Structure 1
């Protein structure tokens, strides 16, 4: 598997947070004085969270901050060396509506070559290779023509390189499933994300996607209506947990992955006070144990499933 400091064998990944952000923002937010931060300020916010993650048994942090959204691979390399956490960077876009005009006007072949280059050669001049491809559904609830172009390019890059695809939202999945089939990409190489958030869960056919062979991301754990100032995509803690347990209870444990979708040091996106990647250890694992999941099941969920997903396949 590709990390920002080089390849790492699957058995060394430890517990994996498969959908997280070092620092996410919309294009241009880095030019807004509200979000200007010195490197020292960003380190002060981020390093303690990653160190605590590592101390609790967290081995790998998958950063799914796409192109144009604040991705900073040199910074990731420094954080990984400083904290001992394996960091996986992505290529691709959070959604078509986050692609700057240069990429918005690009064709499928160009986008596919961009993704392949970042996976096989490196991102920019860093030499660090992307380990996953990010794609997403733009705001509005339906895949746009640009989204479909990006999905097709991502599918071609995934088939060429063997790295998996991770999606932002799992709503309107039929066009995505059709594109992946047309490009010859098996659906077990795709993680359909945010199946559990409060806004999109009612419109996400998670069981149908799983029946087609796709993986499902329950990856907004911790965004709860019980928070003092919950975000608009929050959901009651028990309702989200029951949704997840119900999905697993239908026989889809091996297709389920979990994460917190936290933002270590927000850039142009406010984040949520008190919500970090460490929700996985502080609350999620205790909740799953209390619900009756044994240690072997937790290992499958937090290590085996993401390791199998992230492993580069021929």
Structure 2
């Protein structure tokens, strides 16, 4: 494995990342919301809001944030570059998209005869290019390479397009050497098996959203397969999510089972949301509130550092072909 990570300012040594928030959102815009008459997108104002939040994260001890929004949900690379230069926080942007309901009509247009969803290989080609040649700005300009491939399946169950997205994302990760993060609310294990069947190594996969009610057994099964478990709603308490105390207990249980190297943490914060509700949680929720809870559940300093620094560093380091 290489020792570099793709950031919006270019590759850096993985050792420079420090504490990583693995699943966050900077600017999150519902596709099409930028054209709504009642939604204002003031980039100067957005910059100021995100700058303040990133500076608070850095002051708490944070080093890097992964923007998990993908390529069609508000990703603004020039904005992220300016934020990283101003705050000193490393920003890793992602490629990918999903679920199906968030795709534009172009990606849902039947491309074969007889008509089928976009095939996995088309998605793989699209995402892999962003992770190796640079992320696209309208129309054809490319910036720095994506540091993560992401996709999300429909909450009620994967659609055929969701399946193409997942398999395409897995192939793109294998081809480019960056890791894959996916969310499959209906059946994470089935989705994980599909990704593994595409030839992607388990240690290049992180399964998102495993701090929901009833997901403890799934989290352990994912970790036992060698993939990373994302406890990524820390500080949030909406319906269906477990409490921070239960999250800490789950982390402690996984560590006691020898699976501490398979855990990554995040708050799932949305810095600026347009067209959908934001989340009332800060990027420093893990450092400011959750780390003491982990300590109260018996984790020592080395164990906590391994989860906050070593695990995401190993996940995000680009794998050499």
The answer to whether the superposition gives a TM-score over 0.5 is yes
The CA distance in 1 between the partners of 2:95 and 2:287, in whole Å, is 28
CA contact (8 A) 1:223 1:233 kept: no
Determine whether 1:254 maps to 2:258. Answer: no
Which moved further from structure 2: 36-45 or 63-72? 36-45
**Deviation for aligned residue 1:162:** 0.8
- Structure 2 unaligned segments of length 5 or more: list them: 110-117
The match for 2:284 among 278, 295, 302 is: 278
Q: Matched residues in 2 for 1:115 and 1:277: separation?
A: 27
SS of the counterpart of 2:57?
helix
1:74-113 to structure 2, matched below 5 A, reads 74-105=78-109, 106-113=118-125
- Report the Cα offset of residue 44 of structure 1: 2.3
Residue 34 of structure 1, CA deviation: 4.1
CA deviations 1:64-105 (Å, max 9, x no partner) are 012221111111111111111110010001423212121233
Query: How far 1:45 sits from its partner (Å)?
Result: 1.4
Residue 158 of structure 1, CA deviation: 1.2
Match of 1:183 in 2: 198
Structure 1 unaligned regions, length at least 5 = 225-230
User: Is the CA contact 1:103–1:111 (under 8 Å) kept in the aligned structure 2?
Assistant: no
SS in 2 for 1:282: helix
Structure 2 counterpart of 1:114: 126
Superposition map of 1:165-314 within 5 A: 165-169=180-184, 171-198=186-213, 201-202=214-215, 205-224=218-237, 231-273=238-280, 275-314=281-320
Aligned partner (choices 168, 178, 185) of residue 163 of structure 1? 178
TM-aligned CA deviation for residue 207 of structure 1: 1.6
**Equivalent residues of 1:133, 1:154 under 8 A apart:** yes
CA gap 1:211/1:266 in 2 versus in 1, 3 angstroms? same
Deviation at residue 49 of structure 1 after TM alignment: 0.8
Q: CA deviation at 1:121?
A: 1.0
Q: Residue 144 of structure 2: which of 128, 140, 144 is its match?
A: 128
State TM-score, norm by structure 1.
0.91
The alpha carbon displacement at 1:233 in A equals 4.3
1:145-204 superposed Cα distances (whole Å, 9 cap, x missing partner): 111101111111111111000112454124323322322111111100110034xx4487
Whole-angstrom distance in 1 between the partners of 2:16 and 2:311 = 14
SS at match of 1:75: helix
Q: What is the count of residue pairs matched by the alignment?
A: 304
- Secondary structure of 1:37's partner? coil
| CA displacement, residues 217-273 of structure 1 (integer Å, 9 cap, x when unaligned) | 00110002xxxxxx4444333233223322332221000111001001112221133
Across the aligned residues of Structure 1 and Structure 2, the Cα RMSD in angstroms comes to 1.8
Please give the alpha-carbon distance, in whole angstroms, between the structure 1 residues aligned to 2:73 and 2:264: 23
The alignment partner of 2:274 has SS state of coil
Shift of 1:40: 2.1
Separation of aligned partners in 1, 2:9 and 2:57? 18
Q: Distance in 2 between matches of 1:252 and 1:23?
A: 33
